[in-house]
């Protein structure tokens, strides 16, 4: 059995990070190659949904882990976001116990990351850790499933909180949403990663303005 792992939403200030492990048997690899999934960032929403439908039929299984902002914050304040991601990868690998694992490495030293994964498992699969590992079809499949799952979660959050854009700090809609929320509530909502530098800057700006009034 072959497993690919990737994440969606590591960088945004708003919303969860979603990690996916996609599992396929070796005899289906050629069919996966024919489907030719690519990195979710290179696809439109409609294309991602099309691939998701096909992948759910083709894959033997997949596992989704949703990491909420509060848990992300608890690791970021200790500069351990990579460690958090590693723990979630290990959880998925231990759940499936595949023979081969392809994983998108969160660090540049990919051989070191592969060793970290291997040393923390109770069995010894083959580990292939690379930056931009979405070039492997099984990792691209995980990328698509993670991204489409996160899109669904974000749509649900927007029904509650209103339009907050992409959730990235460079998005004017996200900046406007957070500024307006802070002006009204003097605090950030639970869907925001408060450990992000930009979150701290927004909070400091609001309270500095309050002090100057």
Task: State the pLDDT at residue 212.
Answer: 45
72 neighbors 195 (Cβ within 8 angstroms): yes
The full set of domains in the chain, from first to last, is 2-158 (3.30.420.10), 163-212 (1.10.10.460)
End-to-end C-alpha distance for the chain, whole angstroms: 63
How many degrees, rounded to 5, is the angle at CA 145 between CA 154 and CA 22? Answer: 145
CA 81 to chain centre: 12
Task: Give CA separation, 202 vs 163, 180, 181, 209, 210, in Å.
Answer: 18, 11, 11, 11, 12
Task: State the pLDDT at residue 19.
Answer: 98
pLDDT tier at 209, thresholds 50, 70, 90: low
Task: State the pLDDT at residue 183.
Answer: 85
Average pLDDT across the chain, whole number: 92
Looking at the predicted structure, is the pLDDT value of residue 86 above 90? yes
pLDDT tier at 213, thresholds 50, 70, 90: very low
Looking at the predicted structure, is the pLDDT value of residue 211 above 50? no
Task: Give CA separation, 79 vs 120, 125, 139, 161, 166, in Å.
Answer: 20, 29, 26, 29, 24
Provide CB contacts within 8 A for 102, sequence distance 6+.
2, 3, 4, 5, 128, 130, 133, 136, 138, 139
pLDDT tens-digit series, residues 179-204: 889 888 888 899 999 888 777 776 67
Q: For the residues 140-161, what does the mean pLDDT come to? A: 96
Task: State the pLDDT at residue 179.
Answer: 87
Q: For the residues 121-148, what does the mean pLDDT come to? A: 96
CA 50/CA 70 separation, integer angstroms: 32
């Amino acid at each position: 059995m072959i497993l690919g792992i990737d994440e969606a939403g590591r960088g945004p200030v708003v919303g969860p990070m979603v990690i996916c492990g996609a599992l396929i048997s070796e005899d289906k690899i050629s069919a996966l190659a024919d489907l030719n999934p690519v990195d979710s960032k290179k696809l439109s929403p409609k294309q991602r949904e099309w691939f998701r439908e096909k992948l759910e039929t083709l894959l033997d299984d997949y596992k989704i882990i949703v990491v909420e902002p509060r848990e992300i914050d608890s690791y970021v304040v200790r500069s351990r976001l990579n460690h958090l991601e590693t723990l979630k990868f290990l959880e998925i690998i231990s759940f499936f116990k595949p023979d081969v694992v392809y994983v998108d490495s969160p660090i540049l030293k990919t051989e070191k990351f592969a060793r970290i994964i291997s040393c923390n498992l109770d069995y010894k699969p083959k580990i292939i850790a690379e930056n931009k590992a979405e070039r492997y079809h099984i990792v691209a499949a995980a990328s698509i499933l993670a991204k489409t799952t996160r899109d669904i979660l974000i749509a649900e959050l927007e029904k509650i909180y209103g339009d907050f854009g992409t959730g990235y700090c460079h998005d004017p809609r996200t900046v406007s949403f957070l500024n307006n929320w802070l002006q009204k509530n003097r605090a950030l909502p639970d869907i925001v990663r408060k450990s992000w530098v930009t979150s701290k800057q927004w909070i400091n700006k609001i309270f500095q303005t309050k002090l100057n009034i």
